[in-house]
A and B are shown apart, each in its own frame.
Chain A
Amino acid sequence: MTGDDIESLKKKILVVYSAGCGNGKSEIAANLAFSIAKKGIRTWVLDANTFAPSQDFILGFTSPGPTFSDFLLDPGLNELPVYPLDRLYANPRPLPLFLTPSERDNQKIRFALQEAQNSGTDLYSRIPEAVFTAMVRHRVDLLIIDTHPSFEQINEVWMGMTRFLLLISRINPVDFENLKSLLQDPSVLDIEQKLIVFTNVQIDRSRNVLRDMENDTIVEQLNALHRQFELEPCALSCAAPQVHRAGRTDIHNEAFLYSEKLALFQQASRRQGMFIDREPEDSFSVNIGLLGKRVVKMLGL
């Protein structure tokens, strides 16, 4: 691979990231990938949340072989396992969607990974080469990396590999403060394009998704945030040359309206297909479509 090849591959990596948990990051990543793949764009989802993976569940896939967790723990595995989902989503035509899941069922592996990370074992130096090689082998147009905010060390790897960050935040004061801190992080500042997406998801103490806010409430809250002039100056200062040489921070205009339908769908033990496919008229699905269009445009796909 030449330097130009890698420069070009880096422009095809989208990292989905957030300051906190439970804001719909994985659901957005999976549905966004599905929506973009439907346009014929070869899309690969890498579930980098090794402790609490969800992409296999959301995409309805059971891994027949090694996972991303296995790759990290076994230096003998030179290649990243990438599974095509074209047979799973074959109608009306095979979807050019790929998945690298993380280990869900084997608690030993999950704990071993966490222990290795805590002990400072080098788990990550093989990642860039393995990712770029897999992108070439599978002719990937877009790689979407679903992260976990607590795994800061591996997230630093993704920050080092991407030029495009999709930041997900809930619409509440705590997440807002966390988002502002995140936007000042040097690794985040280094990334040239950042798009902030707000969701209105609320979770209860058992981490169940509550019903969505009324549209009026969302509009009121977003207006209040704009009135406070807290996020916008922050986003602007991050984009200013003295703070960040080439960065740009945008805010996605459409907030994600987490519908009651989606909440019920998420809590179902067996999902039947993808939500945006099942409920294309739902506000969440409509917004995913809009976000997909924006991502495709921004990445020049």
Chain B
Amino acid sequence: METHQAEEDIQRMKALIRHLEALDARIGQSQEECNAMFADIRREYNGILAEVKLQFHESVMAADRVGYDLIPDVPLEDKKIKAAWMALFRHPNGATADVIAEDLHRHRTTVSTYLNTLVLMQFAQKERIGHEILYKALLPRSVGTE
């Protein structure tokens, strides 16, 4: 009677072990499938990321050439004053009137007038460093930076 019971237990254990082996095989297979799927997702992700990075770079280059799309839109009505602010914004450490005049292809005195007007409008600040006057663009609080 005891022998019969032991035989049954052994058979049950063998069955469980087979079941576990089958489950292990299924886990392995699923893992392989998931790895393949993850690899596919990773490839797709990398492809999109590369494209976004490329487009971002191209946009930056385009903004450098013709426009200022990536620069915050400030509420300046006069286009020439706005262009001066945008040119100044590209110099986070500040710039002299000569530098901005070169960027805008305008006479230094004209640009100096634009920059002094921006200072009055509180869209820029100026500080004297030695013989040079350095202007820095100020971003009004109401303007978003994204």
Contacts and interface: CB of A to CB of B under 8 A. Distances in A.
Contacts of A246: 79
A163 B110 contact: no
Nearest to A191: B80
Q: How large is the interface on A (under 10, 10 to 19, 20 to 34, 35 or more residues)?
A: 20 to 34
Nearest to A126: B116
A161 B121 CA distance: 13
Interface in B73-87: 75-80
A187 B123 CA distance: 22
A3 B112 contact: no
Interface in A179-232: 186-187, 190, 192
Interface residues of B, number: 22
Contact of A245 (B79, B111, B121): B79
Main secondary structure of the interface of A (DSSP, over half): helix
Given A245-B79, A246-B79, A156 B116 contact: no
B82 to A, nearest CB: 10
Given A124-B109, A186-B105, A245-B79, A160 B122 contact: no
Nearest to A161: B113
A186 B105 CA distance: 8
Interface string A105-131: 000000000000000000011011100
8 contacts: A6-B120, A128-B113, A128-B117, A157-B110, A160-B110, A160-B113, A161-B113, A187-B110
Interface of A: 1-3, 6-7, 10, 124-125, 127-129, 132, 153-154, 156-157, 159-161, 163, 186-187, 190, 192, 245-246
